Amino acid sequence: MPDHNPPRSGVMSARSKLRAMILITIALILLLLLAAEAAIRVRQTLKYGSAATVENYYTVDPKFNLRVPIANLSIGRISINSLGFRGPEIAVSKPPGTLRLAFLGASTTWCAEVSGNDFVWPHLVTVSLRRTFPSVRFDYVNGGVPGYTMESLLKSMQHRVAPLKPDVIVIYEMSNNFSGELRELAAKRGIIRDTKMRELTWPSRYSLLWNLVEKNLRIMAAQHAAETKRGSLEVDPGTLGEGYRHGLTQLVLAAQQNARLVAIATFSTQLRRDQTPEQQARASSSAMFYIPFATTRLLIEGYERYNQIAREVASETGALLIEGENEIPADPTHFTDTVHFTDVGSNAMAERISRALVSSPRLRNLLPEESVRQ
């Protein structure tokens, strides 16, 4: 029987309309995701001068099996000199009459979060000393590299920093040893599978949006677990830090063989005892990403324990102790996360270190007599 109502040309069937709506919706979602990705990349570029990730700045020195910055690399607001240190060029052979500073640390000394090389606290310390002693020529080596522990700092100091013959060495680091020790304890107790950081999924290598979302989801999960005590690590803080003590002692003793003044600075964090629970949760967010089984109480007591060990090592080795870790206000104006500084925080850190060095008779003994009288 002939069809008296054939489909009119140009009129879509219900199925075709549905298919078109699905395709349009997918296209809109993809456009929104691409726009969000672009916005995050623009934001990061405006904030840090580049959308590069931290791994873009480093290579592995096969001779010492040590991760080092790529010499002569400049990306965004981070510039690395020809010797592979973040900062201005310095002569390998120290010029006569120059007092050379070296700063040993990890990401909190490298300072990727600040606005440029001139805002990194080792640079600001050197500028402050030049201003205080204008007749003395100062230069510096920023030996900070993200991820360094006492073991890698010792290796870097012996093979990369010591040949530059620094007169003063300032040591500032604990967080990587601390998180490493807690991960070892958690692995032994079966809380985590092994001590290695759980890798981000492969899209995070290419998408800053995915990277940001995945990190924040992990932090939220860690904070919820800490609140409920589910899968959290319970440990007496007084038992922590013996590996750190040994490593820091070895580093100080080796540094004292190469520099006339060695200082240990206690470690500043945004996380403090006197904060509200809400403030502590915000301040501990980045630490929770690396050690998601830790409670805020364990973090606070652990940082305090490690700082006490730093004080004891300074006393035992005769190193100059730089106190005042809580002089830097614990707020987002001074910290970008649990331990890393903003421009304002970096300046406060530099003031803290400079003040201790300038007031130390041991530094003044290194200066020409006429410069001290000024």
HEC states along 8-24?
A: CCCCCCHHHHHHHHHHH
CATH of domain 77-373: 3.40.50.1110
Supply the DSSP symbol for 204.
G
Is the pLDDT at 333 greater than 80, yes or no? yes
pTM of the model: 0.81
Predicted pLDDT of residue 22: 84
Predicted pLDDT of residue 225: 53
Cα–Cα distance measured from residue 327 to residue 352, given in angstroms and rounded to the nearest whole number: 8
Q: For residue 170, what are the β-bridge partners?
A: 103, 263
Angle (CA) 254 258 261, round 5°: 95
Sign of CA dihedral 186, 188, 191, 197: positive
Using 50, 70 and 90 to split pLDDT, how confident is the model at 259? Answer: very high
Is the pLDDT at 216 greater than 70, yes or no? no
The 10 Å Cβ neighbour count of residue 139 is: 20
* Residues 294-316 pLDDT 10s: 999 999 999 999 999 999 999 99
Structure tokens at 111: 């300072």
Nearest CA-CA partner of 340 in 248, 264, 268: 268
CB 288 within 8 A of CB 183: no
Cα–Cα distance measured from residue 120 to residue 343, given in angstroms and rounded to the nearest whole number: 8
CB 68 within 8 A of CB 145: yes
Nearest CA-CA partner of 150 in 112, 168, 176, 111: 176
Do the strands 66-69 and 261-265 form a parallel or antiparallel pair, or are they unpaired? unpaired
Q: Say which range, 45-49, 266-270, 320-324, 346-350, has the weakest mean pLDDT.
A: 45-49
Using 50, 70 and 90 to split pLDDT, how confident is the model at 218? Answer: low
Q: Say which range, 96-105, 222-231, 275-284, 303-312, has the weakest mean pLDDT.
A: 222-231
Using 50, 70 and 90 to split pLDDT, how confident is the model at 51? Answer: very low
φ/ψ of residue 100, rounded to 5: -105, 130
Predicted pLDDT of residue 172: 98
Using 50, 70 and 90 to split pLDDT, how confident is the model at 25? Answer: confident
Per-residue burial over 329-361, b = 16 or more CB atoms within 10 Å of its CB, e = otherwise: ebbeebbbbbbbbbbbbbbbbbbbbbbbbeebe
Using 50, 70 and 90 to split pLDDT, how confident is the model at 39? Answer: low
Cα–Cα distance measured from residue 24 to residue 12, given in angstroms and rounded to the nearest whole number: 15
